[in-house]
Amino acid sequence: MEKKISSNTKKIIIMIIVTAALLLVYRLGAFITMPFVSYDLIHNSAAATIDFGFLDVFSGGALSNFSVLCLGVSPYITSSIVIQLLQMDIVPKLKEWSEEGPEGKQKLNQLTRYVSLGLAFVQALTLTIGITLNYKGAYFEANSFVSDNPAILYVYLAIVATAGTAFTLWLAEIITAHGVGNGTSILIVAGILATFPQMFTELISQLINNSETRNILAFIIVMLLFIAIIIFIVFMEGAQRKIPIQYSNRPAAASFRGKSDSNIPIKLNSASVIPVIFASTLMSLPTTAITLLDLDTTQGAGYWLNQIFATTSNNSGNVSINIIGFVVYILLIFIFSFFYSFLQMDPTQMADNLQKQNAYVPGVRPGEETAGYISRVLFKITMVGATYLSIVAILPIVMSTIFDLPSSAQIGGTGLIIVVGVAIETWKQLKQTKQEKQYRGFID
């Protein structure tokens, strides 16, 4: 007897097909260059030496290709973080919207999209002007319009890049509504995974196929470390601290020997990859500015910016580790970890909510003492989480230096944290969808 496929399984299959089709469209868009721009010129001219570091990995190589989707979802991420920060009593109207439920959330999402498109235009305009001025039009085909109308060209290309961001956000919304997982996260993961084949190809080429640098043992060690890091990230991303709570209006029989099933789960890495993204972006901006503005790296501001930020911005093994940049990078991760964790989970607000629900932490008085207790627990957990993020984030720098790996071989790093985190959340969503039960009424 043939086993029938359940409706939930069919739903999951359709979701996966929709997601795969939209990801294919997104990846094809990464290779469509801007108008008046030649793909051959990009990869054969001096402009090809530009290294956008983490920003390029974030877009799956679309930025270095000068694609119509070069900015990807990065403006949206920046704008969403800005809007979240403005909700902290900085802009009262935004705080009101955040407390209005689904209706207010829709308004905030719409505002976030508008802000992201504005940021995309500014970023694209800055990028276009910087590249064309620095490389004297090395990206562009010989065309009278290009040479006679530079200002119009800059604005035109900025509008095209902004339209690319709008299209990317539209794809993300469709994936969220009809596909698997969060659309924005899935697109980011697609961009990161797109760099993996090149990474493994260069590893094999350098450590196995190259007769001068052949080191099979190093290749095996690197692969084992890569697998071990993935397992470590999976464990750390799933770790959490549960604060037990009890309800004063619940009968004593509801709990057994003082135990209660109610708790407040706090993830070990409650800030997710936001701190590393912020730190990586800030560390990559100075070196990108040096390249675009053609600053002299032998003296003055260009020299100091290059000395401090060069290594951590591109995660390349071709340069030595700079202690100052190394320390600055780790400090930024810790600062953003604490800032974002306490932004996401306000201990005072959590204590107030517990008091309103007639709930309390066993052995801790409601009110200020509960807020202080939650704050101390969150501080300790964030310290461990920030240390974990720092270790994984600096692994590409350390590994590249030890094994003399190519710049594309990022063993560890932000990208791997994002991929593992999104994979875990997507798997949970698929599992939940599969376990959904359809209840029928008595009349049906």
Structure tokens at 128: 């276009």
Lowest mean pLDDT among 32-36, 129-133, 216-220: 129-133
Asked whether residue 439 carries a pLDDT value surpassing 60, the answer given is: no
Question: What does DSSP say about strands 246-247 and 359-360: parallel, antiparallel, or unpaired?
Answer: antiparallel
Six token digits for residue 329: 């990078």
pLDDT at 162: 93
Q: Taking 90 as the threshold, does the pLDDT of residue 166 lie above it? A: yes
Per residue in 197-248, pLDDT (tens digit) is: 877 887 888 777 776 666 788 888 888 888 888 888 888 888 888 888 888 7
The closest alpha carbon to 343, from 242, 277, 389, 274, belongs to 274
Cβ pair 277, 77 in contact under 8 A: yes
Burial class for 321, CB neighbours closer than 10 Å (0-12, 13-18, 19+): middle
pLDDT higher than threshold 50 for residue 442: no
How distant is the alpha carbon of residue 49 from its chain centre?
A: 25
Q: Please give the average per-residue pLDDT across 48-63, as a whole number.
A: 62
User: Which of the two residues, 440 and 197, has the higher pLDDT score?
Assistant: 197
- Measure the CA angle with vertex 98, ends 93 and 100; round to 5°: 95
pLDDT tens, 361-372?
888 888 888 889
Kindly tell me the sign of the dihedral angle through the C-alpha atoms of 181, 187, 192, 194.
positive
- Which of 343 and 160 is assigned the larger pLDDT? 160
Distance CA 314, CA 282 (A): 12
Which pLDDT belongs to residue 167? 93
The whole-number pLDDT of residue 102 equals 80
| Alpha-carbon distances of 405 from 218, 239, 348, rounded to whole Å | 10, 31, 47
Does the pLDDT of residue 193 top 60, yes or no? yes
Quick: pLDDT tens for 380-438. Answer: 999 998 899 888 878 877 777 777 776 666 666 777 888 888 888 888 888 877 776 54
Residue 186 confidence (pLDDT) above 70: yes
pLDDT tens digits for 94-116? 888 877 778 888 888 888 899 99
Q: Which domains does the chain have, with CATH numbers?
A: 1-194 (1.10.3370.10), 196-411 (1.10.3370.10)
The predicted-structure confidence for 271-311, as pLDDT tens digits, reads as follows 777 787 777 777 767 766 666 666 666 666 666 666 666 65
60-69, 84-93, 313-322, 342-351: least confidently modelled range? 313-322
d(CA 397, CA 318): 10
Between CA 296 and CA 382 the distance in angstroms is 40
| Residue 76 scores a pLDDT above 80 | yes
Query: How many residues in total does the chain contain?
Result: 444
pLDDT in tens, 274-284: 787 777 777 76
Residue 64 one-letter amino acid: S
Mean local confidence (pLDDT), 324-333 = 82
